[in-house]
Chains A and B, each alone.
Chain A
Amino acid sequence: EVELVESGGGLVQPGGSLRLSCAASGFSFATYGMNWVRQAPGKGLEWVAGIGGSGGSTSYAVSVKGRFNISRDNSKNTLNLQMNSLRAEDTAVYYCAKGGYHDYWGQGTLVTVSS
């Protein structure tokens, strides 16, 4: 059974940093691209970043480019999102999602950026 479990969320001050992780199980992790998608309180879904199966290709939403870095450790079946220079508008639930079709999602982890 496919399972994705996010961790690392919390309260951080504007300008601060946070590192999210997503532990994957139940599928051949290195075979699939992975994504981060976020949802601000009461708002819609926003695709944040994606990474290829080998980790060699990455892409970002304009809103986070230059501040966020997506990476993966295929030996540990783990997806990461390093978030720097955080802003109030980055406050959201962050989900990891499997593959180009986003066919499996984690339960999400809440990031709150506030002083």
Chain B
Amino acid sequence: DIQMTQSPSSLSASVGDRVTITCRASQIISTYLNWYQQKPGKAPKLLIYGASSLQSGVPSRFSGSGYGTDFTLTISSLQPEDFATYYCQQSYITPRTFGQGTKVEIK
């Protein structure tokens, strides 16, 4: 199975901050990388697919980049509604493994 490792596991940030979350795959996955946001008690929501494509309806402050094994999710200016847990997932091969999650908390 492909292992997905996110860092950091958690972070504290203030409204307006630029936030970066990284995800590393244990083998090359091209751009088969998706990012999800999950708020407590809710289903995950797709933010980014194909490493850098913004899902319809997602604010442009979210962006993704990367290729191969190293990927990044960036929130350019953190908003109050962005405090949540973020997961990466590879869709290169089954099982479609997720990272362990990054919890973004209010500083």
Contact = CB atoms under 8 A, between A and B. Distances in A.
Nearest to A50: B94
A107 to B, nearest CB: 6
Contacts of A29: none
Contacts of B38: 45
Given A44-B100, A50-B96, A102 B46 contact: yes
Interface in B69-94: 87, 89, 91, 94
A59 B95 CA distance: 7
B95 A60 contact: yes
Interface in B32-67: 34, 36, 38, 43-46, 49-50, 55
Contacts of A108: 43
A50 B89 CA distance: 14
A48 B93 CA distance: 13
A32 interface: no
A16 interface: no
A107 B43 contact: yes
Given A101-B91, A103-B55, A95 B98 contact: no
Interface in A18-38: 35, 37
Interface in A41-70: 44-47, 50, 59-62
B3 interface: no
B22 interface: no
Contacts of B89: 45, 47, 102
Interface of A: 35, 37, 44-47, 50, 59-62, 95, 100-108
Given A44-B98, A95-B43, A101-B50, 8 more contacts: A45-B36, A45-B44, A45-B87, A46-B98, A95-B44, A101-B49, A102-B44, A102-B46
Q: Closest 6 CB pairs between A and B?
A: A59-B94, A105-B43, A101-B49, A47-B96, A45-B98, A44-B101
